Structure 1
């Protein structure tokens, strides 16, 4: 029976992983698509969708497992043996096959008897609180080495998957959020599993055991991770793309200035060739340009001192600036993107680890 439950848990883990990765994440991305809703509404809708879906899925998983021993007997973690015995006697009378007409009356009675036997034995009760029914069936006892090994496998596996699923510039914040949540979950699990008594307040969670709490955390983490991925991609601001747009705009501006300078240079050469006199130079293609303030060299001095030389010098500088901008744009365009092979390798690795250490 324990092997069947373990296999069921492994299958449930794989199902949750694929469900959140291939169904929930695309749906959340659809909700957060720019322009679909207002920014605040998009975030609110996405969080509500993820929270509702995670609550429903986790509730269905716990409903499938059935109530724990405390809920089944109608007692709390703080109930003493006398209270447990009274609750058992009351239920045994109601659920006894001689008085219960239900087709599964025998199974119901056996479950109540099993819950009573476990909770009345202090040693078995402690094992059940830490490890659940699986711990009772496997005669499990708390071992710090074994606990650290099992926790290490789980958290390292999810850490590796988080790394692969959050590759790329858009997922930088998502990776930080997910790894932070993973570390906090590890701290909570260590505190819960190493405490002598359940640290949860009985007034709020009267029947929740340590094993139930850890199971809830493990069940909610895939939803949390994919929520971080979706929100991180939505809130990401691509500074490189903005810089690329600015550089392209600067490059176009430089080209426009070069065209104007070429027309000005042609006009100045025309004026110089006509001896600087005459009724007026030609009108330039970009509009009338006044040359009255441009000093015209008449002594045949160096080219750099003449208006034409100054224009050529400015033109050379703009060409150099244009080349620098083009190199910056090209370097931004050549940024390597994450390969999809890592994603599929991560999926294969998750399946192998899940079955190898189950």
Structure 2
């Protein structure tokens, strides 16, 4: 198991937290969270609490399994911390080598592998240059003889964050995902700032009490591993909290339009009833209403000014005209609103999947 911890296991862990982890969250976790947040299933506050708890628990289990698959780092193997001096490391190695030497454990078939692991950890941590490389890039950095170069670092950083930025944008398309897009890009920017601060810091960027046996490489790996859970949580909860003001406005206008139609029907019935009364001789001068004050207009009869008299039928007709004009205005407002499109094309989604696979293949090879 000498190289599994640093080589194949690390690669496997990166793959799990990368491509397969992405598919895991998109195709399994997101639908499960959407099921929890389905309207009417639970109370609003409980739905949000259940969804957050589910995502946090799942992310913790998944990340814990990945960390267990990667195995303990060199500091944990020797029982020292990041600030340990070479003398402390030498003492810890000497103590462990006496316990784990194959000659001391002839019946243990893994004794040789365990001894090789602590010997490798000792060799790396005793060399201050290798130790710095290990802290920033892990065992892979040691195997590839990697060194910190700002140009290379920012190029790799750009590829990673541009890739995730494009994926986040595509996965949060649509007006229902406005909040999710905001939260996701805020988290992405915060993660970028933290990663740059960690990786460009001279010396140890963490306090001595803060996870004393973990490295900068592991802190960045943890951020990258948790981001897919954060992004899909934002998608689910942001969509659940979305309020479609445009749809609500449309519904109100349609309700007003229907109300206008009902009033017009009632007025038409009233108008027919009044016409029937007038036709049967019930309408006379006594039924005429003076509207001079309201209209402000006069008519000239025989050279004199006389106020205009409005019949009940005329007033009803006037109200009908006004309601019809109002109804036409409401109809125009409804037609100008964009209709909700429930069917969305899957082309962008599948293009994003293929793009992510291509990026992962190109930059991992």
Counterparts of 2:356 and 2:82, CA distance in 1: 36
Q: What corresponds to 1:21 in structure 2?
A: 26
Counterparts of 1:334 and 1:170, CA distance in 2: 14
Moved more, 220-229 or 7-16: 7-16
CA contact (8 A) 2:260 2:327 kept: yes
TM-score normalised by L of structure 1:
0.89
Question: Are 1:89 and 2:107 counterparts?
Answer: no
TM-score normalised by L of structure 2:
0.87
Counterparts of 1:4 and 1:95, CA distance in 2: 23
Alignment of 1:120-159 (within 5 A): 120-159=126-165
SS, match of residue 272 in structure 1 = helix
Q: What corresponds to 1:350 in structure 2?
A: 356
CA contact (8 A) 2:59 2:229 kept: yes
Question: Are 1:56 and 2:61 counterparts?
Answer: yes
Structure 1's 7 and 302: CA in aligned 2 closer, same or farther, altered over 3 A?
Answer: farther
Gaps of 5+ in 2: 292-298
Instruction: Specify which of 266, 288, 295 is matched with residue 289 of structure 2.
Output: 295
Shift of 1:247: 1.2
Q: What corresponds to 2:295 in structure 1?
A: none
SS, match of residue 209 in structure 2 = coil
SS, match of residue 357 in structure 1 = helix
Question: Are 1:202 and 2:196 counterparts?
Answer: no
Q: What corresponds to 2:277 in structure 1?
A: 271
Alignment of 1:92-111 (within 5 A): 92-100=97-105, 101-111=107-117
CA contact (8 A) 1:128 1:136 kept: yes
CA contact (8 A) 1:10 1:354 kept: no
How big is the alpha-carbon RMSD for the aligned residues of Structure 1 and Structure 2? 2.5
CA contact (8 A) 2:257 2:331 kept: yes
Question: Are 1:176 and 2:212 counterparts?
Answer: no
Structure 1's 4 and 355: CA in aligned 2 closer, same or farther, altered over 3 A?
Answer: farther
Q: What corresponds to 1:281 in structure 2?
A: none
Counterparts of 1:335 and 1:48, CA distance in 2: 31
Shift of 1:12: 4.2
Counterparts of 1:151 and 1:304, CA distance in 2: 83
Q: What corresponds to 1:30 in structure 2?
A: 35
CA contact (8 A) 1:10 1:355 kept: no
Counterparts of 1:127 and 1:328, CA distance in 2: 64
Number of aligned residues: 344
Counterparts of 2:159 and 2:103, CA distance in 1: 48
Gaps of 5+ in 1: 279-291
Shift of 1:117: 0.3
Counterparts of 1:334 and 1:106, CA distance in 2: 70
Deviations for 1:264-300, whole angstroms, at most 9, x for unmatched residues?
A: 111222233234359xxxxxxxxxxxxx986289x99
CA contact (8 A) 1:157 1:350 kept: yes
CA contact (8 A) 2:74 2:121 kept: yes
Instruction: Specify which of 74, 86, 108 is matched with residue 79 of structure 2.
Output: 74
Shift of 1:156: 0.7
Deviations for 1:243-274, whole angstroms, at most 9, x for unmatched residues?
A: 12211211110011010110111122223323
Shift of 1:4: 5.2
Counterparts of 1:5 and 1:348, CA distance in 2: 26
Moved more, 210-219 or 228-237: 228-237
Moved more, 58-67 or 26-35: 26-35
CA contact (8 A) 1:124 1:136 kept: yes
Shift of 1:116: 0.2
Structure 1's 253 and 129: CA in aligned 2 closer, same or farther, altered over 3 A?
Answer: same
